[in-house]
Structure 1
Amino acid sequence: MKFYLSVLTVAVGLILPNFAVAQKKSSSMAKYKLLKKIAIGGEGSWDYPAFDGKNHRLYISHESEVVVVDTTSGEIVGRIANASGVHGIAPVPALGKVFISEGKADAVGIFDLKTLSPLGKIKSGKAPDAIIYDPATKRLFTSNGDSADMTAINASSGEVIGTIPLGGDPESIAIDGKGQLFLAIADKNEIVNIDAKKLAVKNRWTITGCEVPKGVALDIKHQRLFVGCRNKLMAVMDAKNGRTLQTISIGERVDTTVFDSATRMIFNSCGDGTVSVIHEDSPDKFSVIEIVQTLPGAKTMAYDPATKQLFLPVAENFKAADASTGQKAVWGNFVLLIFGQ
């Protein structure tokens, strides 16, 4: 009897940890559903939203303004007006500032994080798009579409400290927290690896099987890059050497790719009205968990790693332009969709 009890005890001891791991994985894989829809109003195009987890604020780019939403209450708490072609937003709570790339002004606007009052404007390259703050260097970086380069800015002083030629159309940026940037070059099907301290290109990698890379996310621990591509694929790359390891099917017209290091979930928001949710089972094995139905045009997204919520801005009656019929884009009835588990 003692022998059987010992065997049973060992067996339970082996099973329980695995059961706990399975429960955690199962919880992270709970299905996403629409939790809330917030009316924003107005017309015009939109681009990258940005989430400030410290202050529970979501910044939404919308043509000539930035709309600020309190993600706890769901209320609109402010608007930054008179921006010229807003694309990217970088809130930096440590500095009490929020930085906005203004594509039509070839500039970065600086605003007070609390009052949203303007603090100044910095000249960047032509048509700045994505913008990111790198805590390791305390610098801002903008992807400049028309000048095919990147502007580096001292975030504290607002001084432009350098320009990095890229040789192509830059899109999203991922950082490793140690002074490295990974940037998608849409028209070259490349990832450019940049030294954020030296302001120099370290590596240039072709993404095998990828056409028009847009979204970029990084698993720092396992050194895996996830690249959302417009040919309905997400490429997985080795961030150490740039080798493309595999591709996974996603939706159409992807624009944002996000990785959650706690749950190892990857999200790709696509303009066809879907979010492809993929789990990183191991650094070399991936499972498609679900395809979340959003709305056509909801191609950009922000993510709250604490609540696991997805934030997608979109015009409810969005219609893309059609050159063959002369149909112009329709942008009306702008809303924010919040999805959660």
Structure 2
Amino acid sequence: MHARLGLAVFGLAALATLSPAHADAPAAPAAPLLTATTPVAVPGGPGKFDWMMIDAARHHLLASHPSHKTLVIYDLVKGDVKQIDTDGAINGEAVDEADNKLFVGGGNQKVVAFDLTTLDKLGEVALTGPADAILFNAKNGVLYADHDDGAEVWMIDPKTLKINGSVAIADAPEAIEYDPATDRLYQNIKPSNCVQVINPATNKVEATWPTAPMTSPHGIAIDSAGGRIFAAGQGKVDLMDIKTGKVLATVDIEPGYVDQIAFDSSRKRLYCASSAGVISVVDETADGATLAGKVTVPKGTHTLAVDQSTGDVWISYSDAAGSNLQKWSPAK
């Protein structure tokens, strides 16, 4: 090749290498962790919500609405909104599929039972104080109701609607969950900064696990397949070993009143609702957990539920215009 021609070709090649067309392209913006859909209006005007859950068997979203003294039932397939009178302000809800019963309880100092199909009231159980979270354990057939400002978990027979005992716990329980893999109940205690483990065979506390450095544990969620438990409080969430209670990781989340949390088992992702108007998204990893990011939602949102069949996150909130449910869809 002629020397000058060779230099010219080399120069063109060098320019091509350095040209913008061959430079590293900027990374595409990351897809949002959650994308909002149009809110679903709940009739009756503004009003505070509390605990939420998905009734997977019926594809229903349940949201307690203490300000309206109702339970909101949203059909996830048909898009219908119903409200049933709960005879006072309620906080928690639970479903007994075998007996076709729906239970609610809270500040009205009672647990009220409804027919799951007709939503007719079946009866009620008088309590000696306000309830908060309630949970039905299908294995032993007991409905558990937290004494909100007490030191006990009431045990209710769902068939007779009578209290048949209680579990002695530390004062002022918050959220309670059941894990079928370990056959244990896990109870958050906010003043004592701990999780208490209840054996349903004996209905006694068999372990107490400190949540430090996280304080005031409110929300609780379980990764049953992974053998881990999440407990969230003031600006932090703990990842704990479900058998030993060892804190494996602590993740900083949105400060403020973090109440209900929910775990997406297929994505290994935890959502923590803060009344500041933020959902903190935490990814579980093989050796711990990391903050994936934060999503801005309407202020006052402090409870949520995950539809395990779709991964959709549902929130409830109230503003000056009224009360709303809203679906937030995860990135595909």
- One fold, TM greater than 0.5? yes
Match of 2:279 in 1: 275
Judge conservation of contact 1:258–1:268 (CA < 8 Å) in 2: yes
Partner of 1:188: 192
Deviation at 1:315, TM superposition (A): 0.5
Cα RMSD between the aligned structures?
1.7
Query: What aligned pairs does 1:132-143 form with structure 2 within 5 A after superposition?
Result: 132-143=135-146
Percent identity over paired residues:
25
Q: 1:210 to 1:125 in 2, by over 3 A?
A: farther
What is the aligned partner in structure 1 of residue 18 from structure 2? none
Aligned partner of 1:75 in structure 2 is 80
Q: Does structure 1 conserve the Cα–Cα contact (< 8 Å) formed by 2:186 and 2:195?
A: yes
- Partner amino acid, structure 2, of 1:88: G
Residue 260 (structure 1) aligns with: 264
Find the aligned partners of 2:57 and 2:220 in 1 and give their Cα distance: 23
Task: State whether residues 125 and 149 of structure 1, in contact with CA within 8 Å, keep that contact through their aligned partners in structure 2.
Answer: no
| TM-score, with length taken from structure 1 | 0.82
Indicate if the aligned counterparts of 1:102 and 1:109 stay in contact, CA closer than 8 A: no
Q: For 1:146 and 1:285, how far apart are their aligned partners in 2?
A: 33
Aligned to 2:311: 308
Determine which of 214, 233, 237 is the counterpart of 1:234.
237
Q: 1:43 aligns with which of 46, 55, 59?
A: 46
Structure-2 separation of matches of 1:236 and 1:102:
28
1:108-133 Cα offsets, whole Å, 9 max, x none, are 10001111110000123511000111
Aligned to 2:20: none
Q: Distance in 2 between matches of 1:299 and 1:128?
A: 18
**Matched-pair contact (CA < 8 Å) for 1:137–1:179:** no
SS of structure 1 residue aligned to 2:38? strand
Single out whichever of 41-50 and 249-258 deviates more from structure 2: 41-50
For the residues of structure 1 that align with 2:312 and 2:159, how far apart are their CA atoms? 31
Residue 122 (1) aligns with residue 125 (2)? yes
Q: Contact 1:139/1:155 (CA < 8 Å) preserved in 2?
A: yes
| Equivalent residue runs for 1:154-193 within 5 Å | 154-177=157-180, 178-193=182-197
Question: Number of residues paired by the alignment?
Answer: 295
What is the alpha-carbon distance in structure 1 between the residues aligned to residue 46 and residue 294 of structure 2? 28
Q: Distance in 2 between matches of 1:337 and 1:261?
A: 21
1:86 aligned counterpart, secondary structure:
coil
Matched, 1:246 2:249: yes
Distance 2:268 2:87 in 1: 36
Determine the structure 2 residue equivalent to 1:335.
324
Distance 1:307 1:298 in 2: 21
Larger Rg: 2
Q: Secondary structure at the match of 2:240?
A: strand
Paired with 1:298 and 1:315, the residues of 2 have a C-alpha distance of 8
Q: 1:217 aligns with which of 221, 229, 235?
A: 221
Letter paired with 1:193: V
What runs of 5+ residues in structure 2 fail to find an aligned partner?
A: 1-30
Runs ≥4 in structure 1, deviation > 3 angstroms? none
Could you tell me how far apart the structure 2 residues matched to 1:74 and 1:173 are? Answer: 29
Q: Aligned partners of 1:126, 1:337: CA distance in 2, in Å?
A: 32
- For structure 1, the 5+ residue unaligned runs are 1-28, 318-331
| Alpha-carbon distance, 1:289 to partner | 1.9
Q: Write the deviation string for residues 207-257 of structure 1: whole angstroms up to 9, x where unpaired.
A: 111111000111222321101112x00011122122222210111311112
C-alpha deviation, 1:33, in angstroms: 0.6
Kept in 1, the 8 Å contact 2:149–2:173? The answer is no
Quote the offset at 1:30 in angstroms: 6.7
TM (norm. structure 2) is 0.84
CA distance in 2, matches of 1:340, 1:93: 27
2:3 is matched with none
TM-fit CA distance, 1:276: 1.2
Q: Which amino acid aligns with 2:134?
A: I
Residue 99 of structure 1 pairs with residue 88 of structure 2: no
Equivalent in the alignment of 2:15:
none
* Distance in 2, Cα, partners of 1:87 & 1:141: 14
Change (3 A) 1:275 1:39: same
Where 1:36 maps in the other structure, the secondary structure is coil
1:220 to 1:125, Cα distance in 2 relative to 1, 3 A = farther
C-alpha displacement of 1:102 = 3.0
2:209 is matched with which residue?
205
